[in-house]
Structure 1
Amino acid sequence: MLNKRGFNEVVSINEIVEGMRVCIDFTDVIGEEESLFVGNTGHGYVQVFSENRVSKGYPPRPFRVNVGAFHQYLHQSERTYYLQELQAGEELELISGEQVRKVAIGRVKIEKRPMLQVACAKEDGEISATFQSASSVYVFERSKGITSILNLEEGDWIAALEDEPGRHLGKAIKETIIEK
């Protein structure tokens, strides 16, 4: 598997109709720099950070990561999960720099919200993710640092994890697959 962390250039940001978004509420306080990787396809994942900060219209939620549309993959070290599969009591790996720690899920909150899709270039295609269009969704931009998804512009470079598609029940496999 590829699993190459770095920065990828944002090539498009598109508002789309409402969809079901997932918030993961953890059983422990999570830091401002703790994050998860999510994406629309197995080509790669965008790094998304905790809501443990003040944002326009939202108080800090020191236990939550708003991870976006429920069809997406959540990348963990050796496998992926669909967001809609997650259950209270399961442990997930939160990432902060090079540090990883496991924290249990307290609840998975799914609600209909306005969405936007962010696509980033990669050498052999693109990485994309679908997020709630809200000031409380955070990504890491190379020059801005951790910033709201609403502050992103085409041409920005955001933290992402490049990967190769091909999964069976979350485990990587070699196969012929087209995801777009």
Structure 2
Amino acid sequence: VGSFARGLFLVHSECLESNYIASRPFRVNAGPVHAYVLVPGGKTCYLSELKSGKEVIVVDQKGRQRTAVVGRVKIESRPLILVEAKTNSGDQTLYGIILQNAETVALVSPCKGTGEQEKAIPVTSLKVGDEVLLRVQGAARHTGIEIQEFIVEN
């Protein structure tokens, strides 16, 4: 999920135990309606375009992906937080995502070695320098389809 299709963050499902809410592994708090999500066929769509029955791509920490079907979409007003990230490649491009500012909303960090368990970092605990998984692509998109064209998004 991301504010720009060129950089999508791996948002953890709400399956983690919490003092605030029961585990809900079927639920992903994906952010505001303007955000992009990956769908089959190498395309993206806005969260506002999702509805029951639509297929989306879900990804695990190791990059394995599969198709899942949306059960429902819920839009509600909640406090939000902007998360920005850069890659380690030296490129200064800033990638962003706006998420609900809640302990139950988390981003996934990369595995450092073999056998390491996934680590989800709640957005309320994120610090400058924390590493999170990001899917970066160079091409621009129009109506969810990758195109070879110059486009600037801020």
Match of 2:128 in 1: 154
Residue number among 12, 15, 18 corresponding to 1:52 in the alignment: 15
Question: Do the aligned partners of 1:42 and 1:164 also contact (CA within 8 Å) in 2?
Answer: no
Task: Report the structure, 1 or 2, having the larger strand content.
Answer: 1
Aligned residue in 2 for 1:11 = none
Residue 58 (structure 2) pairs with residue 94 (structure 1): yes
In 2: Cα distance, 1:73 partner to 1:44 partner: 9
TM-score w.r.t. the length of structure 2 is 0.85
1:124 deviation in Å? 4.1
Does structure 2 retain, via aligned residues, the 8 Å contact 1:39–1:73? yes
Counterpart residue type for residue 40 of structure 1? S
Structure 1 unaligned regions, length at least 5: 1-37
Q: What is the count of residue pairs matched by the alignment?
A: 143
- Please tell me the residue identity of whatever aligns with 1:55: S
Residue-by-residue CA offset, 1:75-120 (whole Å, 9 max, x unaligned): 2460111011001011222112243222211100110100000011
Are 1:70 and 2:33 counterparts? Answer: yes
Q: Distance in 2 between matches of 1:156 and 1:98?
A: 19
How far, CA to CA, are the matches of 1:124 and 1:91 in structure 2?
33
Tell me the residue number matched to 2:115.
none
Aligned residue runs from structure 1 range 136-147, under 5 A: 136-142=104-110, 145-147=119-121
The 5-angstrom pairing of residues 62-141 of structure 1 reads 62-76=25-39, 78-96=42-60, 97-122=62-87, 123-141=91-109
Q: 1:56 to 1:179 in 2, by over 3 A?
A: farther
Alpha-carbon distance, 1:63 to partner:
1.1
Change (3 A) 1:63 1:40: same
- Using the TM superposition, name which of 115-124 and 160-169 deviates more: 160-169
Q: What is the distance in 2 between the residues matched to 1:178 and 1:94?
A: 27
C-alpha change, 1:94 and 1:42, in structure 2 (3 Å) is closer
Distance 2:148 2:5 in 1: 12
- Bigger relative contact order, structure 1 or 2 (CA pairs below 8 A, ≥6 apart): 1
- Hey, what's the Cα distance between the residues in 2 that align with 1:179 and 1:132? 22
Aligned alpha-carbon RMSD (Å): 1.8
Q: Percent identity?
A: 32
Deviations 1:123-162 (A, max 9, x none): 1411110000011111123478212111110111111111
Looking at structure 2, the residues matched to 42 and 92 of structure 1 have their Cα atoms a distance apart, in angstroms, of 14
**1:88 partner SS:** coil
Distance in 2 separating the partners of 1:43 and 1:145: 24
* Contact 1:41/1:127, CA 8 A, preserved across alignment: yes
